[in-house]
Structure 1
Amino acid sequence: MTDAVFSRTDERLGRFAVRPVEPVADTELLHGWVTHPKSVFWMMQDAEPGDVQREFAAIDANPHHDALLGLYEGRPAFLVERYDPAHSELAGRYAARPGDVGMHFLVAPTETPIHGFTRAVLTTVMELLFSEPANQRVVVEPDVRNQAVHTLNASVGFRVVDTVALPDKHAYLSTCTREQYLAAREGVFTAAAEAKE
C-alpha cells in the first residue's frame, strides 16, 4: 500500500492523511463510493467497476490531474482530486491566475456520521493544497444544486465568483485564496477559544 503523502491531526477528531489512489487496487472501494445515492453530484451513479478503474487510470496518467485517497485514523474515508484548471474544462471559462489549483472532494458514504467530519475533511484538503507554496488560490466548480457543499465551501473561505455552464452541469465557480482560507480558519479557532471561556 502506498505511503501517505500528507497528514494532519484534527484537534477534535484525530488523524487525517492522504495517499495516491491506486487505480486497480482501489477500484472496488471507489466504485462503492461514487455510485452511492449520496454521491449523486460526483456524476458516476451508473458506472461499472471497469469504468471507475479506467477513470482513475486516466487521472493517474494525466500530468495535470491527480487523485488521492483520504484516510481517517488509517481507514479509507474520502477522495480528493486536484488539477490544473488551465488544463481542464474550466480553461477559458474564468479569469485564471498563476498559482490556481482546482479541487474536487468526496466523503465516503457512512451509516454512522461524525459531527464535523466533512468540515474536517475539507480543512485537510485545503491544508494539503496550501502546503504547496506555489498554490495561491483554490478553484472549485460545484453543481449549483449542491447547497450543502456551497455552505461548507463558504465556511472555509470560498466565494462564488460566477455561474458557469460546463458540459455536464451548471456550476458555481468559486475561489478561495490562501489569505481567505487563513482568515476563515482563524475565525473558527477564535470562535472555538471563546466557546471554551
Structure 2
Amino acid sequence: MFTGIIEALGTISRLDNNGKDIRLTVSSPTLDMSDVALGDSIATNGVCLTVTEMGDDYYCADVSQETIKYTGFAHYKAGSKVNLEKAMRPSDRLGGHIVSGHVDGVGSVSQIKNHTDYIEIWVKAPTSLAKYIAHKGSITVDGVSLTVNEVNGSEFMLWIIPHTLKETVIGTYKVGTQVNLEVDVIARYLERLMLGDKAAEPTKKDIDLAFLAENGFLKK
C-alpha cells in the first residue's frame, strides 16, 4: 500500500525488452534506498513494482506486458521522469489516501490553465472510470494523491500548487500527456457492495469483436 505522497523523482535509465516483459532500471539520487530490500515494492508513476535488483541510487523491476498494456509505460522511454514512493509502513502518516499501486486506466491531460497561486489541470479519464470520480473525492494521478475540484462528464479538474509542480512529474505535463489513474479504492468496494447477493453471480461478458477474437471466432 502507498499514500500518494511522492518521496522523490527518478529517471528511467534503461529499458530492456526481452520479448515477454520489460526490465526497467530507475535511477534516483534522492530516494533513500537504505531501508529497501529485494522484493520490496516501489510505486513508479503510480504503478506498484517489485525491486529485483538495487544499488545506492537505483533499482530494477520487471514490467509485464499486461502492465504495459494498461498503463502509461507503453509511452515511456529511457530518460523519462517518474514519481517514486516506497511502500508505506504501519507507523507512517497517511498524508494522502489509501493507494494500492494498481492502475485502473490511462487518462490524458486536456487543458492546463495558469493562475497566480496554482495551476489548473483538466484530465480526461476513460469513460469506464467516470462513475468513480467525484467532486472533492480523491484520485491518484501518476502516483500522486490529489483532490478532484470539479467534474464534467469523464473529465475532472485538479488544482496543483507550486510545491507539487516542483517535486513531481506534474510540472512537466503538457496537453496530451498520458497519465496513470487509480480511482479511490473505497468507491470500488462500494460498487461491489451495492450488488448485494448478485455479486455471487457469474459476470456476463458483452459479445463484441474483442470477445469474438479472444475466443477464437475471429482471426487476430
Instruction: State the structure with more CA Rg.
Output: 2
Q: Give the number of the structure whose residues are more often helix, by fraction.
A: 1
TM-score normalized with structure 1 length:
0.32
TM-score calculated relative to the size of structure 2? 0.29
More strand by share: 2
